[in-house]
Amino acid sequence: MTCLMASIAQRSRPLVMGIVNLTPDSFSDGGDLYRGDQLDLDAVLYRAQQLIDEGADLLDIGGESTRPGADKVELATELARVLPVLEALRGRFDIPLSVDTSSPELMVEAASGGAAMLNDVRALCRPGALAAAAASSLPICLMHTLGEPQVMQGNPRYRDVVAQVTAFLRERIEACGEAGIARSRLVLDPGFGFGKTLEQNLSLFRALPAFVAEGLPVMVGVSRKSLIGAILDKPVEQRVYGSAALAVLAAQSGVGIIRVHDVAATVDSLKMLEALQPE
């Protein structure tokens, strides 16, 4: 078991994963780390330091926006965004780094560059991804999504969203096993907002205890997402409280990692929940 997976198993509350988007077009903070059309490495380092100071347990860096309607990113662009940042963060901070990618080539480079985890919104479905992940020996998060970002929110339909997402993740676990990836390296993510309506997202959230019961760590990423906006009627920048509330509810369901933009609010909320647990 890797140090990161052991940390998930041993902690009394979920790990908080701070988001570092290296994209100009992500739904919440796209372009925040850019100066003109160039990624600003100093801004990235400042953002990482801020998240660490706020209490992040690990950081997730990604060079491809997967928001609904996002344009496809060429491999060369993704590599150019992520690899220099991975090197800079590794040289500056002693914190586990997750790389958010579906590209086998970046998985290989990230593993050799010191990443602690791979986070794939396409659950290793791209050609070559299973082999690249297997060779890395890193923990891997498998997420469910319905279609590519360009079309996934067009008209998502399920007979039973919980049953179908569960079946998909079980199939990917089996595929990983056949590729030589040990079950002990896997984390599951139901994929909130990735090809789901508001009601489908809520059904998945209510079913978190069932996903946890699959016996693998579960990661939840609902930070600032449209499901919060739809319920609260708030724009992206005013969804911090809704995000923190869902983080507490996810923790009560037994999830292992919570992926967030607003680390301080999340950490404070989880500390209060932890303090109120029976001794």
Read off the pLDDT band of 26 (50, 70, 90).
low
The SS3 assignment for 83 reads helix
As a whole number, mean pLDDT of residues 157-182 equals 97
Place 2 in a pLDDT band, splitting at 50, 70 and 90.
confident
Query: Of 64 and 131, which is predicted with more confidence?
Result: 131
Residue count of the chain, please give it: 279
Distance between CA atoms of residues 139 and 115, nearest Å: 10
Q: Which residues in 106-117 are b (16+ Cβ under 10 Å) and which e?
A: bbbbbbebebbb
Examine residue 276 and state whether it is found in any structural domain, yes or no.
no
Q: Which of 13, 47, 225, 239 is catalytic?
A: 225
CATH number at residue 252: 3.20.20.20
Q: Could you tell me the pLDDT band of residue 68, with boundaries at 50, 70 and 90?
A: low
Could you report the per-residue pLDDT of 114-153, keeping only the tens digit for each? 999 999 999 999 999 999 999 999 999 999 998 766 555 6
In a domain, 4, yes or no: no
List, in order, residues 6 or more apart from 209 with CB less than 8 Å away: 253, 254
Q: What is the pTM of this model?
A: 0.93
pLDDT at 10: 86
Has residue 11 been placed in a domain? no
Please report the pLDDT score of residue 97 as a whole number. 98
How many domains, in total, are found in the chain? Answer: 1
DSSP helix/strand/coil, 133: helix
pLDDT digits (tens, 9 = 90+) for 91-114: 999 999 999 999 999 999 999 999
Residue 196: active-site member: no
What are 29's two structure tokens? 């903070």
Q: Tell me, what's the pLDDT at 1?
A: 61
Phi-psi group of 85: left, alpha or beta (phi > 0 → left; psi -120 to 50 → alpha; rest → beta): alpha
Q: How confident is the model at residue 207 (pLDDT cuts 50, 70, 90)?
A: very high
Instruction: Determine whether 13 is an active site residue.
Output: no
For residue 236, tell me if it sits in a domain: yes
Q: What is the pLDDT of residues 236-278, one digit of tens each?
A: 999 999 999 999 999 999 999 999 999 999 999 999 999 998 8
- Contact (Cβ atoms closer than 8 angstroms) between residue 237 and residue 29: no
Among candidate residues 67, 172, 196, 259, the one labeled active-site is 259
Q: How confident is the model at residue 27 (pLDDT cuts 50, 70, 90)?
A: low
DSSP string, 121-182: TTTT-STTHHHHHHHH---EEEE--SS-TTTTTSS---SSHHHHHHHHHHHHHHHHHHTT--
8 occurs within a structural domain = no
How far is Cα 66 from Cα 150, in angstroms, rounded to an integer? 9
In a domain, 1, yes or no: no
Does the residue 6 lie in any domain?
Answer: no
Asked whether residue 279 carries a pLDDT value surpassing 90, the answer given is no
**Is the confidence at residue 29, as pLDDT, over 90?**
no
Among 56, 59, 67, 60, residue whose Cα is nearest residue 24: 67
More confident residue, 1 or 172: 172
Q: Kindly indicate the confidence band of residue 70, based on its pLDDT and cuts at 50, 70 and 90.
A: low
Q: Which range marks the domain in which residue 219 is found?
A: 16-271
Residue 31 has pLDDT above 90, yes or no: no
